[in-house]
């Protein structure tokens, strides 16, 4: 009956997701205030989600517009289990690269397109409807709480930190913000700024004047632009470059920094081209040095920070943003390191490397790695639910992505990407497969059923 309800109500699930996709929940667009810590439009989206949950008979709570939650019951004598999702999204980027409006919620070819459809509004709505199905088909011997935040993509997780200040910590939680069968290891995350000042330089008639690329630290940049003066450029476009009068545009392929090999970093492509110009100016020589350090790599090898382990794989290093002119150059880097590697050692190594170039390195934020053994009973319960619905045996995997699980005890990431599917998080034309969304809702309902029967 529980699974039948999910199928019968799937049209409502899709309608709810289309509605949530209409909210432009990119917090970088809005000015924070005391009452709206991520901006008023972000608060509106959170309240809209909570109101939709209330229309289904759930109890909800908004915690100072940082985070909200949806409960199946208010009986605190029942044990509590959590599901953690987020409604904030990364920027849509260059919207001309989208074939569907990023905040339109357009359904086409068995897919629902929109920023956040996959990461993480789709999983949030699927989880809500899975909770609805279990609540409507059997007496509950425990509580399920869907926690929805507004500050996941920044990596700061201020929403979860606010939740933990005053609210009950679930016995176990999962976050449908990763991949199936289950993620039990999340790499450590380091976000850094590298700054180089060129001082009082003599302006030369020949040189690289500006270099710009990237929009967010956790996105592999798909476009980078340089302006030059007195430099001969090719007359024909090609090989990922457009040449205009005094301007070079390099195109790549944007993707999430947790799997940079699936994209093409336009900044690195542009650095390689600019280094080949051999421009003598201060910025030109620094660009050449940067190319030597980054190459067309994503493992940090030329920086001397490459490492790996058997639990979570290799380190990834992404040069995500560059803002440079003849006075200064600022870089933003994202590093995802294996769970057994020491993040402090990596930062120290980078400080040593860039100090030789007269540049400083600042650690902007860090997220410590997460690892839960495969033998953990909650891990086994989740894997069992996955197998029961899909018929496929599952083994835990690792990720370079970061989820709320790092900040919530006894938590792992569980879905929504299925084996063999392409990861479209943070990409243009982000979408969620409607068939996968339906299957995920079934899996989450199966989890709730197994937890409930276990009690």
| pLDDT band at 150; cut points 50, 70, 90 | very high
Phi first, then psi: give them for residue 297, nearest 5 degrees: -120, 165
Beta bridge mates, 226: 211, 248
Q: What percent of the chain has pLDDT above 90? A: 84
3-state secondary structure of 191: strand
Region 401-423: what's the mean pLDDT? Answer: 92
Mean pLDDT of 113-137: 97
- Gap between the Cα atoms of 322 and 4, Å rounded: 51
CA separation for the pair 426, 149 (Å, rounded): 18
For residue 226, pLDDT over 80 is answered with yes
The rounded distance, in Å, linking the Cα atoms of 425 and 208 is: 34
Residue 243 to residues 117, 212, 218, 265, 273: CA-CA distances in angstroms? 35, 15, 28, 18, 12
- What pLDDT sits at residue 4? 97
pLDDT in tens, 177-208: 999 999 999 999 999 999 999 977 666 666 89
pLDDT at 426: 87
- Token digits for 351? 């400080």
C-alpha span between 319 and 272 (Å, rounded): 13
pTM of the model: 0.79
322-335 pLDDT, tens digit per residue, is 999 999 999 999 99
Alpha carbons within 13 A on the beta-carbon side of 284? 19
Residue 241 contacts residue 251 (beta carbons within 8 Å): yes
pLDDT for 425: 87
User: What pLDDT is attached to residue 206?
Assistant: 67
Among residues 157, 390, 427, 70, the alpha carbon closest in space to that of 415 is found at 390
For residues 250 and 213, give the distance between their C-alpha atoms in angstroms, rounded to a whole number.
9
Q: Is the pLDDT of residue 281 over 80?
A: no
pLDDT the model gives residue 202: 60
CA distances 330 to 153, 262, 286, 327, 373, Å, are 21, 25, 12, 10, 40
How far from each other are the two terminal CA atoms of the chain, in whole angstroms? Answer: 20
Q: What average pLDDT does range 422-441 have in this prediction?
A: 94
* pLDDT of amino acid 349: 98
pLDDT of residue 442: 98
List the single range of 216-225, 320-329, 399-408 with lowest mean pLDDT: 399-408
Q: What is the DSSP letter of 28?
A: G
Position 25 scores a pLDDT of 96
Burial of 244 (0-12, 13-18, 19+ CB in 10 A): exposed
Instruction: Classify strands 207-213 and 223-229 as parallel, antiparallel or unpaired.
Output: antiparallel
Mean model confidence pLDDT for the chain: 94
Q: Is the pLDDT of residue 240 over 70?
A: yes
Bridge partners for 63 per DSSP = 67
Is the pLDDT at 290 greater than 90? The verdict is: yes
Label residues 206-241 b or e (16+ Cβ within 10 Å = b): ebbbbbbbbbbbbbbbbbbbbbbeebeeeeeeeeeb
Residue 53: which pLDDT band, with cuts at 50, 70 and 90? very high
Number of continuous H segments (helices) and E segments (strands) in the chain: 10, 26
DSSP 8-state class, residue 437: H
| Neighbouring-strand partners of residue 193 | 332, 362
Residue 135 scores a pLDDT above 90: yes
Q: Is residue 94's pLDDT more than 90? A: no
| In 34-135, beta strands by DSSP E | 59-63, 67-71, 80-86, 106-108, 111-113
- The answer, yes or no, to whether residue 342 has pLDDT greater than 90, is yes
Find the range with the poorest average confidence among 49-53, 156-160, 384-388.
156-160
User: Which pLDDT score, from 0 to 100, does residue 38 have?
Assistant: 97
pLDDT tier for residue 403 given thresholds of 50, 70 and 90: confident
């Amino acid at each position: 009956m529980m699974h039948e309800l999910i199928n019968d109500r799937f049209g409502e699930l899709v309608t709810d997701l289309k509605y949530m996709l209409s909210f432009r929940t990119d917090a970088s667009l809005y000015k924070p205030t005391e009452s709206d810590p991520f901006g008023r439009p972000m608060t509106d989206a959170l309240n809209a989600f909570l109101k939709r949950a209330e229309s289904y008979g759930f109890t909800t709570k908004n915690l100072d517009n940082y985070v909200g939650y949806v409960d199946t019951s208010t009986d605190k004598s029942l044990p509590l289990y959590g599901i953690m999702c987020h409604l904030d999204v990364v920027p849509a980027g260059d919207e001309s690269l989208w074939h569907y409006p990023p905040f339109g919620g357009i359904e086409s070819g068995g897919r629902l397109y929109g920023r956040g459809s996959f990461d993480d509004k789709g999983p949030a709505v699927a989880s809500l409807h899975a909770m609805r199905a279990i609540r409507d088909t059997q007496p509950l011997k425990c509580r399920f709480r869907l926690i929805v935040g507004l500050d996941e993509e920044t990596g700061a997780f201020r929403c979860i930190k606010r939740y933990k200040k005053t609210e009950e910590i679930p016995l176990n939680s999962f976050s449908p913000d990763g991949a199936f069968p289950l993620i039990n290891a999340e790499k450590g995350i380091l976000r850094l700024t590298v700054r180089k000042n060129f001082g009082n330089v003599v302006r030369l008639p020949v040189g690289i004047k500006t270099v710009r690329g990237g929009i967010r630290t956790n996105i592999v940049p798909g476009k980078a632009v340089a302006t030059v003066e007195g430099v001969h450029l090719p007359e024909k476009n090609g090989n990922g470059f457009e040449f205009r009068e005094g301007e070079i545009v390099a195109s790549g392929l944007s993707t999430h920094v947790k799997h940079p090999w699936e994209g093409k970093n336009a900044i690195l492509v542009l650095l390689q081209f600019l280094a080949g110009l051999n421009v003598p100016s201060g910025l030109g020589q620094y660009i050449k040095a940067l190319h030597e350090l980054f190459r067309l790599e994503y493992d940090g090898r030329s920086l001397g920070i490459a490492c790996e382990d058997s639990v979570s794989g290799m380190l990834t290093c992404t040069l995500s943003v560059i803002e440079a002119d003849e006075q200064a150059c600022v870089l933003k880097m994202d590093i995802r390191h294996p769970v057994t590697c020491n993040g402090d050692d990596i930062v120290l190594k980078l400080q040593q490397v860039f100090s030789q170039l007269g540049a400083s390195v600042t650690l902007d934020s860090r997220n410590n790695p997460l690892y839960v053994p495969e033998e953990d009973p909650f891990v086994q319960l989740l894997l069992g639910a996955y197998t029961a619905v899909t018929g496929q045996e599952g083994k835990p995997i690792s990720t370079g992505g970061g989820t709320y699980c790092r900040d919530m005890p006894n938590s792992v990431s569980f879905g929504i990407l299925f084996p063999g599917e392409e990861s479209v998080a943070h990409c243009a034309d982000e979408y969620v497969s409607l068939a996968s969304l339906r299957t995920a809702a079934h899996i989450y309902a199966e989890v709730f059923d197994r937890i409930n029967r276990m009690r």
